[in-house]
Structure 1
Amino acid sequence: MSITRVVTSGTFSLDGGTWDVDNNIWIVGDDNDVIVFDAAHTADPIIEAVAGRNVVAVICTHGHNDHITVAPELSTALDAPILLHPADDMLWRMTHPDKDFHTVDDGVRLQAGGVELHAIHTPGHSPGSVCWYAPDLGAVFSGDTLFQGGPGATGRSFSDFPTILDSIKDKLGALPADTVVYTGHGDTTRIGDEIVNYDEWVARGH
């Protein structure tokens, strides 16, 4: 069982602004079957890292364009379904108006390479943000819900700061403190290292 990180670079655009970003793509599985988390910017490095293995799904942790850029291309190249929470349909349509995805909701479970992953709906950064918890790996793939240093950004359309705080406290905060957080951008962290700062986040406000 392995967790592989691929980093691709491009832009995030919303509300009329555009920012340069580096994105983490996580490939989780064994020598036969994997799941791809997020489809950022460029397909070729992701396909190369999959290395011919069966892809159970291309999971988009949320619908912002930098996480779904090449999802349809990957779906075709890897013969894999795209999974996204339906609450982010409006964000998906901004990038891929004529493409469809398979919906996923809280509590859904997937298996790849003998590891089970649990979907945890964590709205706030976007309405349809979903984190994926792998108990056997002591890992959670958080997208942009939780980073090293605190919650994901909530300054754009369809985001809400109190909602992301509730998602982190009630859902991610219920995971074991030593759970490794594999983030959508930047370095990994641990649940316990972040949740201790919760009161500070609340005081800081939006």
Structure 2
Amino acid sequence: MSFAHSVSSASSASSVSAVRSVPLVPAPCEVPHFAPVRVRGGRYRLGRLVRHRRRALALGLAVTAAAIVAAGPRQPAGPPPDVGRVRGHPVADPVRARPTVEMVTAPVRIADAATVRLLRPGDRVDVIAAEESPTGTDARVVARRARVTQVPQAPTAQESAAEGGALVVLSVPRTTASRLAGAGVTARLAVTLW
């Protein structure tokens, strides 16, 4: 054996003995006492919410009530609808009241006297003007839902033929009365019942 081999054997033996002398498990040491760590959120927040469920329920109901009030129907800013109402008679609603239109009575000569005999005061009619044109007959509505106020007594056949129709008195707005007068000069007028 050589000297080098004996030195290496001696050094390995001393290192093995050194390794065996070091304990494999460290000696137990004492851990100091500390307060528990609290994490915000997570299951702890849910647990706190469950513990305070009365508050959560009250808060939820308050938010729901506020949303219902905000989205609810609006009440008109006037008196209640039944104020001043007589039983059986409707009350004019000032909000829905239409602007008043000046109504006038307009005498209109209808071409067909037999149709006029069907009319009674209070009936509603549309007045149609038929004009001859090179392409044929053009018809247009001159008055809509005009109220019949007067119908003449039944004329004889000779009177109807001589006058060319029958006269009817209608209640219409002033602008419609002027259109009826203009159409009566240039066209033959007819009525349709409502």
- Give the structure-1-normalised TM-score: 0.16
- As a proportion of its length, which structure holds more strand? 1
- As a proportion of its length, which structure holds more helix? 2
- Give the structure-2-normalised TM-score: 0.17
